[in-house]
Structure 1
Amino acid sequence: MAANNKTNKLAFLSMPAPASYVAGLGRGASGFTTRSDIGPAREGPSEEVIAEARARRGEEPDVDPEQFQDPDNEYGLFAGMTYEQDDEEADKIYEKVDQAMDSRRKARREAREHEELAKHRAERPKIQQQFADLKRGLAAVSDSEWESIPEVGNLTRKKRRREERSFVVPDSVLVGDRSKGEYESALDATQQEMGGFATPADSGTLTNFVEIGQARDKILSLKLDQISGTSSTSGTATSVDPKGYLTSLDSVVIKSDAEIGDIKRARMLFDSLVKSNAKHAPGWIAAACLEEHAGRMVTARKIIKAGCEHCPKSEDVWLEAARLHNNNDAKVILANAVQHIGQSVKIWLAAADLEHDAKAKKRVLRKALEHIPNSVRLWKETVNLEESATDARILLARAVEVIPMSVELWLALARLETPERARAVLNKARKAVPTSHEIWIAAGRLLEQTATNSSAAEPKSDAKELEVVDRTIELAVRELRKHQVLLTRDQWLKEAEKCESQGSPRTCEAIVKATAAMEIEEEDRLDTWFSDAESAETRGMVGTARAILAYALKVFPDRKNLWRRAAELEKAHGTRESLDTLLGQAVKHCPQAEVLWLMAAKEKWLAGDVPAAREVLERAFNVNPESEEIWLAAVKLESENGNMDVARQLLQRARDVADTDRIWMKSAVFERQLGQLDSALETLQTALTKFPKLAKLYMIKGQIHQKLKNVPTARASYAAGLKACPKDTTLWILASRLEEADGKSIKARALLEKARLVNPANDELWAESVGVEERSGGAVQAKAMLARGLQECPASGLLWSLSIWSEPRPTRKTRSVDALKKSADNPVIICTVARLFWAERKIEKARQWFGRAAATAPDLGDTWGWWLKFERQHGVEEHREGVRAKCVAAEPHHSPVWQSMAKDDANRGKTVREILELVADALQ
């Protein structure tokens, strides 16, 4: 068997090779070159043979990616197609066309390229061009100059490696370093002999520091004695103050080197300036100021003196020279200045200021008036120096003759004259200056002053004089318009406010009457006057605002809102008499305006005049017999004054005459407050037959039954109300609280859930649901309910307040910031933030935030209660009284605790101040 295998192997080796066989081809072998470079030993296989061999082995042939690519159209649309003779001919035609088009634009393109290149070379020249002029200059350099050029040193600043050498330190150095830090606490023999006062040297000299200090003090005192008082040798007094000598030494400014250098450079610049332009006055002034700053007063005076010589017509140079010299020298300088520029008002005024005697000042100013008679400022200064009114009047009379166009001088003369002569003066001034509105206004003020000072026994003449003021201002407007003096309406209103501030309200009113209707369209008059009155009141000009509203009421006497705005202005800034007069006129012009009748009656009542208030309401009844507001105001007036029978009769008549749902509701409330619960239930039964959709009737009925401990009847009343008025939130809350009070929290929770379905996105219902969960002991459920409520009502201040207090103490502040962002400064959130500051003992911040909350929503009574509670703990009586006064002025009506206290039958008849105290006690 082995012999057969051997025979087959030999037979195989002797067989001829296949036609395409290449020895070593599978290993990547190919032909080779002999050492003697005689060429390949044999030719290698052809590409076809290699491809056939690889195909038999299953290898894919290598495809050259450049094999089928057209070099001229490699990425074109027809890249894979055959490139034929037609394609070549077409390419030649296109190439010729491109050459023709390129030759057409070649001249312009080359010109543009040359232009851009020249521009670029001009902006950024080559280094060769930049140094071309310097290279041309090198042609003139001589050989000696070339040789004198220093050699360039090594500027590379490379760190040279230093050879480190080490030496052996001797023992003496080590011993010396060891004894450096030692201290010797014992005295040597020499010091012991001398008592410890000998110096370390061998000189033996004693150093007594006490004697040195005493000697220094003696020398200093001796120097001070020598320079103080009168010298014994010369007998002249010195200018050194011995007491302030050391203080003056401390005040010496020590300049730094940098500042001294700056002063030197500035001195050089100013020196060059004044030498190059000697007529430049500011240069001399600046140079003198520099020397003054440097402490060289003598040099500064020399420089400014030279400036006066070179610039004798500049008043600034003379004034600076006077400033740099003492008083006597300054007088001489200004006297010289007057000789050069005698028309300078500043020079004369400066000369007058140098005089300390009034007579000398008058002399200087009168001399100035001889040179400059048309200077208003000089005349005013001269008049101000006169102590006698007669002399001042004489001077002003002369001044207006010299300067007839000066309005100030005319007005000053009129103020000094008697009323009769002042009128003549103003008439002359008006003729001299017909374009001045100040003269006309001064005439009006003069007439008003005359009327005010007239006797009280002649009121008619007083009224006539005041009418003359109106006519004068009207004439002023017409005359100024003739002379083309067109003041705008705003300018006239500013003049009116100016008159009011100067104590002339009647002139202010006359200006408003004459100019209020200027430059306004007819349809915009009312709105414009409203805004003008509000802006004037905001600036504190109450008289101007009152005059604007009075003029508007003359134009629109039947506008109820206008009368009400005027009444509010009088109530805030006027007197009771003026408010009473205004309301009397208001009800005459607007008899159908119930609010005006009620305001008039209330003011009479607050003044303590109850019969007058009844009279006002009776007149209101005659005009408005079916007005429920007037009927209820009459009932309140009688009930507050203890006339219960009269109030009951009025309610009966009101039900017969007006027969409104509110009157029926008030009747039931009145009976309940008196304790007549049966009568109240009968009234409610009748009212429900007439007004079955009024939710408050069901509330009152349910509350009365709940007070009588009749829970099923109360439940039935609330159920009937919910069926008739499902959108009333308060009714749902009362029904839920009834169930909760009866111990049925599950039913209360169900009622509130149904209420939220009927009234979606209602924060009061969500807050009540949270309260039910908290009162039932489910803190987790309450927090979940609160989260759901905030999702449905993201801007509710009530829910955010509950969320803040439900957080732990460290995270409340962050929660409050989120609440303020989400709720857009809700007053409940502001009050909550104030309470947080209160808890953190930040008293002033808490007080500020309480005030902000009260100002944002003054109708919320709980805010006032929290503020008063805070002031009770941290404030003084003045703060508490301020809170009470503001609350009484605001008259709040809403908030949960406030309403519960105000509507409680036990608190009937209590004032706002008393209810505020109760609310502050009840808040927790």
Structure 2
Amino acid sequence: MAANKANKLAFLSMPAPASYVAGLGRGASGFTTRSDIGPAREGPSEETIAEAKRKRGEDDEVDPEQFQDPDNEYGLFASGTYEADDEEADMIYELVDRNMDARRRARREARESEELAKSRAERPKLQQQFADLKRGLSSVTDEEWESIPEVGNLTRRKRRREIYDRAYVVPDSVIVGDRSKTEYENALDPAQQNNGGIETPLENGTMTNFVEIGQARDKILSLKLDQISGTSSISGSTTSVDPKGYLTSLNSVVLKSDAEIGDIKRARQLFDSLVKSNPKHAPGWIAAACLEEHAGRMVAARKLIKQGCEHCPKSEDVWLEAARLHNNDDAKVILANAVQHVGQSVKIWLAAADLEHDIKAKKRVLRKALEHIPNSVRLWKETVNLESSAVDARILLSRAVEVIPTSVELWLALARLETPEKAKAVLNKARKAMPTSHEIWIAAGRLLEQEAYADTSKSDAERETALAAVDTAIEHGVRALRKHQVLLTRDQWMKEAEKCEEEGSTRTCEAIVKATVAMDIEEEDRLDTWLGDADSAEARGRVGTARAILAYALKVFPDKRDLWRKAAALEKAHGTKESLDAILSRAVHHCPQSEVLWLMWAKEKWLAGDVPAAREVLEKAFIANPESEQIWLAAVKLEAENGEVGVARELLTRARAVADTARIWMKSAVFERQHGQTSLALEILATALTKFPKFAKLYMIQGQIHQDQKNYAAARASFATGLKACPKEITLWILASRLEEADGKSIKARALLEKARQVNPANERLWAEAVGVEERSGGTAQAKAVLARGLQECPTSGTLWSMSIWAEPRPSRKSRSVDALKKSADDPIIICTVARLFWAERKIEKARQWFERAVRTNEDLGDIWAWWYKFESQHGTKEHKEVVVKRCMAAEPHHGPVWQGTMKDMKNTGRSTKDILELVAGALH
């Protein structure tokens, strides 16, 4: 029996067969639940796996036993000798396999990631489907959680009734017992009756003393109050509780959400693992302490940073973080320990000095630091800044430059504190100590400049001689630096010049420009390069640098008219009247044949109110340019504007004899017409037309004079003759058409414009005039048809698009303006139209911005300035109107349909730009 029992036990300990299923004999079967296999997802089929392998470039798995020798289990060549050649061949094949695999890896991985993303997008996991909802649960408040309704019975089954819903029959004994609870006993206890009364506990000697209880309570309360206020009556020690700021600190407590708390816990685990695995890693300790500080656990943060100081005593960042996390007194102790380990750290010493509130204590710390780190420029600078006496600062700087002779800052600081004579000696020593420092040479130039301006007793010639030393010093410095192989680029020198100008040393700036502006430039590129440099310097606000560049360029190219005009424009914008007058006088001296420079000089004299000087300039201009029509006309305008009509007429007569140009004859006719001499004007025009039959403006003026006299036949004849001679003149066609309109012949005006469009196709002005004719004659539908034809022929015309926008109903104007901006981008008329649309919608700021953009696009269109002025008159302030007027006067516009008609009207002769602006703004509608 013992043997049978042993065999039975051995059988039970044996492993079950591979296909064994418990209970299969009695009908049971094995099954797998969802908890065993996770979310129910169908795996890839064998065909899918084979297709993926084929795309990846992998072969089917090969059975390693397929090529095995049945008689030799170690392989066919196991008995052979494995030589070095075999090993090299194996290595080569292995290298080839690796290279081939690496070549395909990038494409394979990209294809796999794309297929994985596609499959995840088609069949996402349940976790991915509800991930956004899970994240949204973090923002659910407590009130929202509490307001979630209870889930009802959705199974549609009868639920068991709860116990508290059932009713039971109560026995009579319970009812009787409850009834006796409310009754009163009105009889004495027999035992107490026999003793003669009631025995009370007061007679057993244990009486309660309520006075002592109250005193004990008051004492405990006073102890708690003393602890909160900062002193303890038991030990006399102080606590860290601030009774005044206690409530304030409670208000500053930041309540963290569950998600933030979870993040802090995870980060704490990570940092804990980091500092344990690598305790010598200082940033890990700092980050762990900052995390605890963020979590509001200052004690834990200080404990962690203390451990960091112990493990990383050579890291200055750990010590600085420890000082930051402690109060002022503890931080002093920490930094005192820090200098024992990292005594060469400048940051540690500066932090220790910042903890001191007394100046003497700061000086003591910094001087102690200089004993440890005497070659620190920053420590010397901080020490010198604490000195209130210039003498003490000078002594410290003298010692500093002895210890650190290669510090430019210290040498320059010492030179600034010395007298001019001693400063020269200091800079000479600095130059010898640092022959490669350009800052020393620039400082020397600035010192010479300050010395020249400081002495007020010097005359202008003596001061100019002293300032010439600045140029010499800078030039010598540039040569010396080149000798020592210090090759600063030209742009670097320009930056140094701008820096000197910014600090007030304009003459040093000019000296640097003179010495270095011609460096590294090809001879043929000098003029363009210098003009570009001047423009960029002016754009940055460095007018002195731009002036110096142009002055040097004018010395090299004194006969360049554009260069003189650029210099004059710079002085007009940023200089004084005297500097502008000096530039223009030099300009006409070097370029006497430049009419523009003479006219600019005369105009500036005239604008300054010096009419005799302007006449004198024009007389000199006559001598240099005797046949210049511009100078003749300028002289005539000067005399006419100042009321000298007879002198102006005589000048025009002489000009017709000397210059004899078409423009002078035209101006003569205009002058006589302005002063009411129409017959004389017609005579002049008749003579001029015999000399210049192709000059269209003569026909225009002749026809307008006849039209003003209501002589439509003569005017029609003048315009017809002009159109035969000048068929490409658009204005002449428009004047002829308007003449017919004024005579009541709109059909003939329409025919003239049709003929004009045949001679001058794709002209927006002719199409716009044709639309105007149709509108004035009352044919609105015909006007729209003509406008549509015009837009087909001129698809980028801003004028036609603007008319098309205003022809639309109000709701569709905005969409029409969008189409117009796309077709004709940056057209000032379209931009002005958009501004007017915003104006109509009461969007004041947007309208102002678009008006600004319109005038920046083209400042010569006077109608845009007038629209802007009208807008500011209605919605702007007085300052807004003044800005528009000033900018318009500076721009001096000459074009625009309404603007030109108003300017050339005989009634507005002699009016200023401001008056014309007001008149045009009143005429616009």
TM > 0.5: yes
CA offsets 1:556-576 (integer angstroms, 9 cap, x no match): 000000000110011011111
Quick one: distance in 2 between partners of 1:366 and 1:232? 43
* AA in 2 matched with 1:370: E
CA offsets 1:614-670 (integer angstroms, 9 cap, x no match): 000000000000000000000000000000000000000000000000000000000
Partner in structure 2 of residue 749 of structure 1: 750
Alignment of 1:629-708 (within 5 A): 629-708=630-709
Asked whether 1:528 is paired with 2:529, we answer yes
Q: Offset at 1:418?
A: 1.1
Going from structure 1 to structure 2, the CA distance change for 1:898 and 1:752 (only over 3 Å counts) comes to: same
Quick one: distance in 2 between partners of 1:253 and 1:919? 65
Partner in structure 1 of residue 417 of structure 2: 416
Partner in structure 2 of residue 540 of structure 1: 541
Partner in structure 2 of residue 862 of structure 1: 863
CA offsets 1:770-828 (integer angstroms, 9 cap, x no match): 11111111111110000111111111111111111111111111111111111122101
Bigger shift: 592-601 or 281-290? 281-290
* AA in 2 matched with 1:750: A
Going from structure 1 to structure 2, the CA distance change for 1:261 and 1:163 (only over 3 Å counts) comes to: closer
Partner in structure 2 of residue 210 of structure 1: none
Q: Offset at 1:255?
A: 4.1
Bigger shift: 281-290 or 858-867? 281-290
Asked whether 1:567 is paired with 2:546, we answer no
Q: Aligned with 2:718: secondary structure?
A: helix
Quick one: distance in 2 between partners of 1:813 and 1:840? 11
* AA in 2 matched with 1:671: E
CA offsets 1:665-686 (integer angstroms, 9 cap, x no match): 0000000000000100010010
Quick one: distance in 2 between partners of 1:542 and 1:628? 35
Going from structure 1 to structure 2, the CA distance change for 1:116 and 1:229 (only over 3 Å counts) comes to: closer
Q: Aligned with 2:348: secondary structure?
A: helix
Quick one: distance in 2 between partners of 1:236 and 1:684? 113
Alignment of 1:302-317 (within 5 A): 302-317=303-318
Asked whether 1:614 is paired with 2:615, we answer yes
Contact 2:223 2:233 in 1 (8 A): no
Q: Offset at 1:350?
A: 1.0
Partner in structure 1 of residue 769 of structure 2: 768
CA offsets 1:77-121 (integer angstroms, 9 cap, x no match): xxxxxxxxxxxxxxxxxxxxxxxxxxxxxxxxxxx9xx999x99x
Quick one: distance in 2 between partners of 1:696 and 1:174? 116
CA offsets 1:816-856 (integer angstroms, 9 cap, x no match): 11111111221011111111111111111111111111111
Quick one: distance in 2 between partners of 1:265 and 1:735? 89
Quick one: distance in 1 between partners of 2:765 and 2:828? 15
* AA in 2 matched with 1:876: T
* AA in 1 matched with 2:810: R
Contact 2:669 2:684 in 1 (8 A): yes
Quick one: distance in 2 between partners of 1:774 and 1:262? 74
TM-score normalised to structure 1 length: 0.76
Going from structure 1 to structure 2, the CA distance change for 1:221 and 1:910 (only over 3 Å counts) comes to: farther
Going from structure 1 to structure 2, the CA distance change for 1:225 and 1:347 (only over 3 Å counts) comes to: closer
Quick one: distance in 1 between partners of 2:97 and 2:335? 68
Contact 1:761 1:793 in 2 (8 A): yes
Going from structure 1 to structure 2, the CA distance change for 1:290 and 1:169 (only over 3 Å counts) comes to: closer
Quick one: distance in 2 between partners of 1:886 and 1:328? 64
Q: Offset at 1:345?
A: 1.0
Quick one: distance in 2 between partners of 1:461 and 1:226? 80
**Unpaired runs of 5+ in structure 1?**
1-111, 125-161, 176-218
Quick one: distance in 2 between partners of 1:326 and 1:842? 56
Quick one: distance in 2 between partners of 1:575 and 1:116? 82
Quick one: distance in 2 between partners of 1:174 and 1:630? 121
Contact 2:872 2:880 in 1 (8 A): yes
Contact 1:334 1:351 in 2 (8 A): yes
Partner in structure 2 of residue 584 of structure 1: 585
Quick one: distance in 1 between partners of 2:492 and 2:772? 61
* AA in 1 matched with 2:477: A
* AA in 1 matched with 2:519: M
Partner in structure 2 of residue 556 of structure 1: 557
Bigger shift: 659-668 or 412-421? 412-421
Contact 1:292 1:300 in 2 (8 A): yes
Q: Offset at 1:321?
A: 1.9
Going from structure 1 to structure 2, the CA distance change for 1:345 and 1:780 (only over 3 Å counts) comes to: same
Partner in structure 1 of residue 875 of structure 2: 874
Going from structure 1 to structure 2, the CA distance change for 1:221 and 1:707 (only over 3 Å counts) comes to: farther
- Cα RMSD, aligned residues only: 2.8
Quick one: distance in 2 between partners of 1:503 and 1:469? 14
Alignment of 1:326-337 (within 5 A): 326-337=327-338
Partner in structure 1 of residue 472 of structure 2: 471
Quick one: distance in 1 between partners of 2:334 and 2:158? 80
Q: Offset at 1:378?
A: 0.5
Partner in structure 1 of residue 462 of structure 2: 461
Q: Aligned with 2:627: secondary structure?
A: coil
* AA in 2 matched with 1:666: K
Q: How many residues align?
A: 731
Asked whether 1:787 is paired with 2:767, we answer no
Q: Offset at 1:272?
A: 3.9
Asked whether 1:350 is paired with 2:351, we answer yes
Asked whether 1:796 is paired with 2:797, we answer yes
Q: Offset at 1:258?
A: 4.6
Q: Offset at 1:338?
A: 1.4
Contact 2:223 2:232 in 1 (8 A): no
Quick one: distance in 1 between partners of 2:281 and 2:375? 29
* AA in 2 matched with 1:781: Q
Going from structure 1 to structure 2, the CA distance change for 1:236 and 1:686 (only over 3 Å counts) comes to: same
Partner in structure 2 of residue 893 of structure 1: 894
Partner in structure 2 of residue 836 of structure 1: 837
Q: Offset at 1:901?
A: 1.1
Q: Aligned with 1:669: secondary structure?
A: helix
Quick one: distance in 1 between partners of 2:801 and 2:223? 82
TM-score normalised to structure 2 length: 0.76
Q: Aligned with 1:519: secondary structure?
A: coil
Partner in structure 2 of residue 726 of structure 1: 727
Quick one: distance in 1 between partners of 2:877 and 2:355? 56
Asked whether 1:484 is paired with 2:477, we answer no
Going from structure 1 to structure 2, the CA distance change for 1:681 and 1:258 (only over 3 Å counts) comes to: closer
* AA in 1 matched with 2:351: A
CA offsets 1:24-79 (integer angstroms, 9 cap, x no match): xxxxxxxxxxxxxxxxxxxxxxxxxxxxxxxxxxxxxxxxxxxxxxxxxxxxxxxx
Q: Aligned with 2:782: secondary structure?
A: helix
Q: Offset at 1:371?
A: 1.1
Partner in structure 2 of residue 812 of structure 1: 813
Quick one: distance in 1 between partners of 2:514 and 2:243? 72
CA offsets 1:368-390 (integer angstroms, 9 cap, x no match): 11111111011000000001111
Q: Aligned with 1:591: secondary structure?
A: coil
Going from structure 1 to structure 2, the CA distance change for 1:691 and 1:344 (only over 3 Å counts) comes to: same
Quick one: distance in 1 between partners of 2:348 and 2:404? 21
Going from structure 1 to structure 2, the CA distance change for 1:164 and 1:230 (only over 3 Å counts) comes to: closer
Partner in structure 2 of residue 715 of structure 1: 716
Q: Offset at 1:234?
A: 6.6
Going from structure 1 to structure 2, the CA distance change for 1:687 and 1:336 (only over 3 Å counts) comes to: same
Q: Offset at 1:297?
A: 2.7
Q: Offset at 1:882?
A: 0.7
Partner in structure 1 of residue 441 of structure 2: 440
* AA in 2 matched with 1:623: A
Quick one: distance in 1 between partners of 2:879 and 2:159? 89
Contact 1:224 1:242 in 2 (8 A): no
Bigger shift: 313-322 or 844-853? 313-322
* AA in 1 matched with 2:878: E
Asked whether 1:917 is paired with 2:918, we answer yes
Going from structure 1 to structure 2, the CA distance change for 1:229 and 1:700 (only over 3 Å counts) comes to: same
Q: Aligned with 2:744: secondary structure?
A: coil
Going from structure 1 to structure 2, the CA distance change for 1:268 and 1:756 (only over 3 Å counts) comes to: closer
Q: Offset at 1:886?
A: 0.5
Q: Offset at 1:426?
A: 0.7
Quick one: distance in 1 between partners of 2:232 and 2:371? 49
Quick one: distance in 2 between partners of 1:686 and 1:221? 120
* AA in 2 matched with 1:578: S
Quick one: distance in 1 between partners of 2:844 and 2:255? 50
